[in-house]
Structure 1
Amino acid sequence: MGEKRASFGGKLSAILVAAGSAIGLGSIWRFPYVAGENGGAAFLLLYLLCVFVVGIPVMLAEFSIGRKSQQSSVGAVRVLAPKWSWLGYFGVAGALLISGYYYIVSGWSLEYIVTSLTGSLYSSPESFAEQFSAFQASPRQIIYMILFVLLTHFIIARGVEKGIEAASKVMMPLLFIILLIMAVRVAFMPGAIEGYRFFLTPDFSALFNSQTILLAVGQAFFSLSLGMGCMVVYASYFKPSNNLTGTAMSVSLLTLMVAVLAGLVIFPAVFSAGLEPTEGPSLIFITLPEIFKDMPFASLWSFIFFILLALAALSSTISFHEVLTTYFTEEFKLSRRASVYLTSFLSAALCLIAIVFKFDINFASLHLENISFFDIFDYVTANILLPVGGLLSCIFTAWYLKPSFLRGELTNYGEFKGRAFPLLLFLLRFVSPLLIVYIMLANLNII
């Protein structure tokens, strides 16, 4: 393969980098509002189940493919089975489409960092909803999106060790520290107990709602960076001595901790202010500033929270930027520098399309107004590309490849005992695929 492939420094580095990909807006921005709209703790229980029954097995499948092949998401599958090389393009497509809206939301966090720092977020005569709408209609949304692309570009351009690994070692501990500080602060707010009850008391009727189940599976994929090639590419930088099972468990545990901590920050604060926890993405950018307003040092707490959001976003944009960068480098034989620039350009271009173009859909009984490419990119990736990518990874790893391949990778070829391997193989062969297929059919209203 020519030049020696870069690798992460050690086991902790591998965990922090993979966790950085998994812990993103899916845990902090998406999880609270999806949970709030779908039964609170009932959604949390379904999410936990999906992570352990579907998320971890699929992550291990992707880890195994990536480390064994030492290639991009497309090249990885080609090395193991040339006839299946098309499977890798699901990861590339997923990473590309997510780039088409993720940088936009990430840029929102930069706007709120700046307005919190300057104090204009709280000195403006406009309501927070009006400020948010005005920002989305202004050129600043494009400027901050481009700034976030450039920030990601700078880190990726520094390479695997000096860029991705070094950034993750700083961002992940800082993210946890900020979350813990915020969780302790909101615990002392009046009425916070109602938020804990909402979040921790399950509505069991929601457990049998197909839409809630669908969202839980989608959230598990979204928050663990599965189905888009991120874990395949990152695992290609793992050392042969890395314990894949231990890494997957650690990454999943850290992701769950962040998701729960985010809920323990958001819901008590929302209930303390007497607001509704079901306000969609605006929960973060409208409701939380409203809550911070009544706290001492409002601008400081707001600044800290949106730094947290930006860190979570950056850890994810780094991962799918790297998926595309390695694809262009290895498939088209471009230099890494050229691949980084190409990926950044495509990401910014897709985001511009998502921001600018809106249209109506009138087809048969389907009538939707003011639909944007932002909505389409979000829906297609979270509900179709990521689950399908995970489904195909299950089939490829558990059915097409010999069990000895997966067992060898997970036990480091005899270094570990692998007692749980039969259970993992069963989950990958039957439980995970069947659950994903069920969710896909339910999403398409076929069942």
Structure 2
Amino acid sequence: MGQQNGREQWTSKLGFILAAAGSAVGLGNIWRFSYVAGEQGGAAFLFIYLIAIALIGYPLMATEMVIGRKTQKNPIGAFSALAPNTPWWLVGALGVLSGFVILSFYSVVAGWAMHYTVLAATGFSSTADYVDVFLGHITSTWVPLIWHAIFMALTVGIIAAGVVKGIQRTVRLLMPLLFLLLVALVVRGLTLPGSGAGVAFFLTPDFSAVTARTFLTAVGQSFFTLSLGMGALITYGSYLKQDENISDNAGWVVGLDTLVAVIAGFAIFPAVFALGFDPASGAGLAFMTLPAVFAEMPAGLFFGFMFFLLLSVAALTSAISLLEVVVAWVIDEKGWSRAKAAITVGSVIFLVGIPPVLGFSTLSHITFLGFDILDTYDFITGVVMLPLGGLLTCIFVGYVWRASNATKEINNPRGIINFGGWYNILISVVIPVAIAVVLVMGLYDVVSAHYGW
């Protein structure tokens, strides 16, 4: 049961939707979305972000899913099957490598979230300097390394158990828990005196504050948050039965992912405004600003614990998809057992993640374009590899496999949303142009900032 030609498959539509949504829902939805929205003005950014999700995120997600379902292979095998004896398999290899590198530093940040879950359980102090608390944690050596190891061990254990018994069973437990935690945090935030200012910030757009950078950031965030370009959705799609509808499944996944990001905004901004903190406090919002918010909030210890537990759960559902990308390739191409592949690949990823852990302490002298080691990993994957993978996927589907073939596959069987000429235009022209602009501008921003252009 759950197997076809020796390859595991999802045993239910719900199992796939929750797994794919779990892949998309991660730190990007809760931690990154909140601080990016805060920096970009709240509601105006949200409006543009939703448009980007609809015009770029959804079509590209359906594209990656159908490549996997059509071929029943990992990303490298999928591109090889659709364009045999050509170099296009390198696009799949880029996805596998992206998942490998991303998980190596993603696990480090997830370890921070797990550590803060324990800190919240033992009690935040209203007199603590949370900047010092955070810097003290990341600049130590062994504590963040241990949490990195714990998180990777959890991820490996789930993947080793299999697609159905490991991934599907885990996400069926964790995804409902994630939504319950989010809703509880929303209720707490909205009941604080002065929370209305946070709601207004998140829902009342000020388009006079919108710049070209707002559009680029929204497109980049939509790409990042849906796990596009990293092979995860091709891999998960490869475990779909051929009679599973693509357009509806992709719609459910995009909808759940976007819902989590929006609910996270309602969980965070009302509390931040109610207690007089700055919503534009950047990447430190989760680990430096919010602990101070929870410390001053009634029942703040409990809700602080729930928030960081939420971060940890979201990180885990994404991490298992990242590891599965690489493990699926090893199983398919090398013939290894799932347990051997998961343990071996997970161990190597753990080792590759050690430099980002130590990049704030013993290896802090190592930088690239002004970035520490963790931010260097993030830059290489987020600014270069993921957009490049998405761009090449669009070119491949639009001009090599042909958009008409992809459309036929997506519509077989036909879903509520029917793909047609609009999809051909988006996948062949609009989306690759948008991704190319984001890629070029992202590189320009980093290089110009480093050299003072």
Measured against the shorter chain, the TM-score band is over 0.9
Asked if residue 115 in structure 1 is aligned to residue 119 in structure 2, the reply is yes
Q: Distance in 2 between matches of 1:100 and 1:402?
A: 34
Q: Deviation at 1:419?
A: 3.9
2:230 equivalent among 224, 228, 232: 228
Asked if residue 97 in structure 1 is aligned to residue 101 in structure 2, the reply is yes
- Mean Cα deviation higher: 96-105 or 292-301: 292-301
Residue equivalent to 1:421: 420
CA contact (8 A) 2:66 2:406 kept: yes
Alpha carbons of structure 1 residues 268 and 322: separation in structure 2 relative to 1, 3 Å = same
Q: Distance in 2 between matches of 1:444 and 1:327?
A: 30
Q: Distance in 2 between matches of 1:41 and 1:72?
A: 38
Q: Distance in 2 between matches of 1:233 and 1:2?
A: 15
Residue equivalent to 1:345: 347
Residue equivalent to 2:10: 8
Alpha carbons of structure 1 residues 212 and 384: separation in structure 2 relative to 1, 3 Å = farther
CA contact (8 A) 2:68 2:237 kept: yes
Q: In the alignment, residue 290 of structure 2 is paired with which amino acid?
A: L
2:158 equivalent among 155, 159, 182: 155
Q: Distance in 2 between matches of 1:346 and 1:2?
A: 30
Q: Deviation at 1:361?
A: 5.6
Q: Distance in 1 between matches of 2:338 and 2:419?
A: 39
Q: How does 1:232-311 map to 2 (within 5 A)?
A: 232-311=234-313
CA contact (8 A) 2:230 2:386 kept: yes
- Mean Cα deviation higher: 24-33 or 344-353: 344-353
Residue equivalent to 2:89: 85
Alpha carbons of structure 1 residues 406 and 417: separation in structure 2 relative to 1, 3 Å = farther
Q: Distance in 2 between matches of 1:131 and 1:404?
A: 55
| Alignment: residue pair count | 437
Asked if residue 176 in structure 1 is aligned to residue 176 in structure 2, the reply is no
Look up the SS of the partner of 1:445 in the other structure: helix
Q: Distance in 1 between matches of 2:285 and 2:120?
A: 17
Residue equivalent to 2:400: 400
Tell me the alpha carbon deviations over residues 372-392 of structure 1, each in whole angstroms, 9 at most, x when there is no partner.
220111122222211111111
Q: Distance in 1 between matches of 2:138 and 2:230?
A: 28
Residue equivalent to 1:32: 34
CA contact (8 A) 1:227 1:386 kept: yes
Q: Deviation at 1:30?
A: 0.6
Q: Deviation at 1:442?
A: 2.2
CA contact (8 A) 1:355 1:372 kept: no
Residue equivalent to 2:377: 377
Q: In the alignment, residue 411 of structure 1 is paired with which amino acid?
A: N
Query: Which runs of 5 or more residues in structure 2 are unaligned?
Result: 449-453
Alpha carbons of structure 1 residues 272 and 242: separation in structure 2 relative to 1, 3 Å = same
Alpha carbons of structure 1 residues 55 and 169: separation in structure 2 relative to 1, 3 Å = same
Give the TM-score taking structure 2 as reference length.
0.92
Look up the SS of the partner of 1:164 in the other structure: helix
Q: Distance in 2 between matches of 1:3 and 1:427?
A: 35
Q: Distance in 2 between matches of 1:183 and 1:198?
A: 15
Query: Which runs of 5 or more residues in structure 1 are unaligned?
Result: none
Give the TM-score taking structure 1 as reference length.
0.93
Q: Distance in 2 between matches of 1:416 and 1:188?
A: 41
Q: Distance in 1 between matches of 2:417 and 2:257?
A: 24
Look up the SS of the partner of 1:122 in the other structure: coil
Residue equivalent to 1:358: 364
Residue equivalent to 2:197: 194
1:218 equivalent among 220, 243, 262: 220
Q: Deviation at 1:68?
A: 0.8
CA contact (8 A) 1:64 1:410 kept: yes
Tell me the alpha carbon deviations over residues 22-77 of structure 1, each in whole angstroms, 9 at most, x when there is no partner.
01111001100111111212221221111111111111111111001111111111
Residue equivalent to 1:432: 431
CA contact (8 A) 2:63 2:406 kept: yes
- Mean Cα deviation higher: 150-159 or 279-288: 279-288
Look up the SS of the partner of 1:380 in the other structure: helix
What is the RMSD of the two structures over their aligned residues, measured on CA atoms?
A: 2.0
Q: Deviation at 1:3?
A: 5.0
CA contact (8 A) 2:72 2:239 kept: yes
Tell me the alpha carbon deviations over residues 294-328 of structure 1, each in whole angstroms, 9 at most, x when there is no partner.
22332211111111111100000010010011112
Q: Distance in 1 between matches of 2:190 and 2:183?
A: 11
CA contact (8 A) 1:56 1:248 kept: yes
Q: Distance in 2 between matches of 1:400 and 1:188?
A: 54
Q: Distance in 2 between matches of 1:444 and 1:378?
A: 13
- Mean Cα deviation higher: 127-136 or 294-303: 294-303
Alpha carbons of structure 1 residues 75 and 187: separation in structure 2 relative to 1, 3 Å = same
Q: Deviation at 1:417?
A: 8.2
Alpha carbons of structure 1 residues 386 and 177: separation in structure 2 relative to 1, 3 Å = same
Alpha carbons of structure 1 residues 293 and 2: separation in structure 2 relative to 1, 3 Å = closer
Q: Distance in 1 between matches of 2:6 and 2:260?
A: 35
CA contact (8 A) 2:229 2:386 kept: yes
Alpha carbons of structure 1 residues 360 and 154: separation in structure 2 relative to 1, 3 Å = closer
Look up the SS of the partner of 2:9 in the other structure: coil
- Mean Cα deviation higher: 330-339 or 85-94: 330-339
Q: Deviation at 1:281?
A: 2.3
Residue equivalent to 2:451: none
Alpha carbons of structure 1 residues 100 and 306: separation in structure 2 relative to 1, 3 Å = same
Asked if residue 207 in structure 1 is aligned to residue 210 in structure 2, the reply is yes
